[in-house]
Amino acid sequence: MGWSKVRRLGIGICLLGGLVLGAAGCVNVAAAGSSPPASEIVYETIKIPSSEFDQLMSGDVGRWYDKSYRLNGLHSYVQDSFRYFLVSAGEKPTTGYTIENLRILGNDKEIEVKASLHTPHPGEIVAQVISYPHVLVRIPKDNRNLVFNGIEGNKANAEPTGSALDKDKSGGNPGTAIKPEAGSGTPGAAGSAVRTDSGRFVGQIDANSVEIRVSGVPNAIAPSAFQLSEKLKVELPKYGLKKDEEVMYQYVLRENQRPVLLEIKRLH
């Protein structure tokens, strides 16, 4: 073999080796630039009701929970050495809805929360009362950004949170709007939505207000005080409601004041 042939062969081998190494280098760079794999994060479920839940309800976590559990979406709160997650499906027309298959996944930068909603099957026996399916869990304190794409199977899903840190993306139905009857004495701003809920009648606080234990919420926060409308101040004694009777009622909210009770009747 002549010297020129040997030289050409050597150059070819070097070029081929360079291409192989270059390709390997590209593979390595792509792998390094991809998102790191997510792993399961172990969480603790706070049972509702429970003594631990009752303790939490007496502090800042309880106030955050009270403002959030009715709102469809993922809510986050950090206190002491824990980070709390509240996953809520918002308002539902009956009981029988539950949050299932909750998973919390984490990589170097983000925490992703996944869940699905169990919906009552056709013909399933449920109570005809408004409910707010939700689950409360906690993990050790962690400041990674949150990713949440809604609850699988929930028709009224919240707007995905993307990577926003501790931002509520509710978007849920805040209540059931009902056109008030003429003469009901609806207070507040014009067009204020009248809400319908159910619960157990506790009794009159005084001549102007009553207490009702709201259905579908923990006992620690269930009792609610309502101011009577002018109509109910006159008519309520005629209803003869007794303590712990199940009732359906209509009310309107007022900023920084007690909600006003417009109508109330026995469920059974």
Contact criterion met (CB below 8 Å) for 88 and 98? no
Q: What angle do CA 204, 209, 211 make, to 5 degrees?
A: 55
Q: The domain 195-266 belongs to what CATH superfamily?
A: Nucleic acid-binding proteins (2.40.50.140)
pLDDT digits (tens, 9 = 90+) for 149-198: 889 998 765 444 433 334 333 333 222 222 223 333 333 333 457 777 88
**Tokens read off for 267:** 């469920």
Q: pLDDT tens digits for 81-126? A: 999 999 999 888 888 999 999 999 999 999 999 999 999 998 888 8
The mean pLDDT value of the chain amounts to 75
Residue 116: predicted pLDDT: 96
Cα 87-93-99 angle, rounded to 5 deg? 25
State how beta strands 257-266 and 39-40 pair.
Answer: unpaired
- The answer to whether the CB of 75 falls within 8 A of the CB of 68 is yes
Domain ranges, ordered by start, for the chain: 40-148, 195-266
Strands (DSSP E) contained in 207-256 are: 209-214, 223-228, 246-254
Cα-Cα-Cα-Cα dihedral sign, residues 188, 193, 196, 197: negative
Three-state DSSP state, 19 = helix
Dist CA 152 CA 100 (whole Å): 10
User: Is pTM, for the whole model, over 0.75?
Assistant: no
Identify whether the C-beta of residue 140 lies closer than 8 Å to the C-beta of residue 104. no
